Amino acid sequence: MHCKVPYLGNVRVTFSDIKMPKVPFNGSYEVDLFSKSEYFPYGMKINELSFDRKNLSFGSGARYGYNGTHEQDREMNADGNYLSFGNFGYDTRVAMRRNQEPLRAKYPHLSGYSAFGSNPIMYKDIDGNEPVNYFSTIFGETTKLKKTQWFSILGVYDNTTFNSAAVYSTTHLRADAYQSVYQRNAYYGWVQGQADAKGYNSKWFGAAQLVTGFRGVGGTEFPDNGYVSSVNVDKFLQGGNKYLFANNMKNAKDLLSDGKLSSNFIDANGKNQSFEGLTGMTLDYKMVEFEQSKVQEYINSYKGNDLKEIMNGVNELMNGVMPSPDVKDVIKNTFRDKFDFSKYGDRVKLGQELVRKAHNDN
């Protein structure tokens, strides 16, 4: 009887259920090991051993490599780090295919030369036609999801189902499908990836993802018992993130249709503003004004009597421990005095500098 140890992609062990007494015998037993293979996450071997029963010795040279289903092509690469997947050859040392994914048009956010959906923990790729997500192997292909839902495990999202849900939610403006800052942050990243793949010169959603990440608004969802920020500050920032999201999804829908926006809005200073005819960084600057005008609406609609205390708390975060290094650098280089979240002008200036940096970095 042979047993194979289940794994997440980097260790494979084959052994029998025979008790092998240690020599000299001291009352304990060893594993009857047939083979052991260890891999880096994308399949390059760390080491490999297989037991030669004929010569009663261990050596290297197992026929099948990474994931146990893909034949090692030792003619192409003697060390066994080149695998044959049927429809493509895969070099584990550089984590890339030798030919492009035949279904690459279906996954514009991924490189055509990527394998396993660029996520070997979440996917397997049996024949090179299309990655199969981890959940299908557990629950089967009949697993039913609502059109707004996706698979995730330990905070890692399945690209295929997340992409499908994001397309549907954007088309039908289902902002309610994203219930946390973390989920909205992932959506912003998805939108930016789609915009980049379409060749639209807009970086606003990438900047939004940066601001809403763990070193930003997303960090307020981490339970710290008020050690970093008060519960009221956390709730205020989370509420603002939710308040803005539906408007940002509407902009995402319009942007991804043709790279432009065409609506009007009244800014926080009472001036009529328009997106008409704007593209690139000019469009992104106007999107910052739009969002921060919505932020001002949210602030003005706040019902509590501790708004001043909350604004002070947000400022302590923004000028202290919260921002990512990129945001921290922009605040340091842009504001002579400290950044003041309560001021519309400061928020617009910060947002536009982040957008400008995103364009210059790309």
Q: What is residue 142's predicted lDDT score, i.e. its pLDDT?
A: 47
Percent of the chain past pLDDT 70, that is, above it, reads 71
pLDDT score, position 250 = 97
For residues 233-245, average pLDDT? 95
Does 1 score more than 70 pLDDT?
no
Mean pLDDT of the chain: 80
The C-alpha atoms of residue 87 and residue 126 are separated, in whole angstroms, by: 9
pLDDT higher for 203 or 94?
203
Residue that wins the pLDDT comparison between 341 and 85? 341
Does the structure show a pLDDT above 80 at 37?
A: no
Predicted TM-score of the model (pTM): 0.66
With a cut of 90, say whether residue 166 has pLDDT above it: yes
Residue 270, CA distances (Å) to 253, 267, 287, 289 in order: 26, 5, 16, 12
Q: State residue 49's pLDDT score.
A: 56
Q: What is the mean pLDDT of residues 22-27?
A: 73
- DSSP conformation class of 114: -
- Output the six-digit token pair for 285: 């600057």
Q: What is the pLDDT of residue 138?
A: 59
DSSP 248-306: HHHHHHHHHHHS----EEE-TTS-EEE-TT--HHHHHHHHHHHHHHHHHHHHHT---S-
Any idea where the domains of the chain sit in the sequence? 2-139, 178-361
Give residue 228's pLDDT.
66
Determine the average pLDDT of the residues in 113-122. 74
Give the dihedral sign, CA 211/150/119/98. Answer: negative
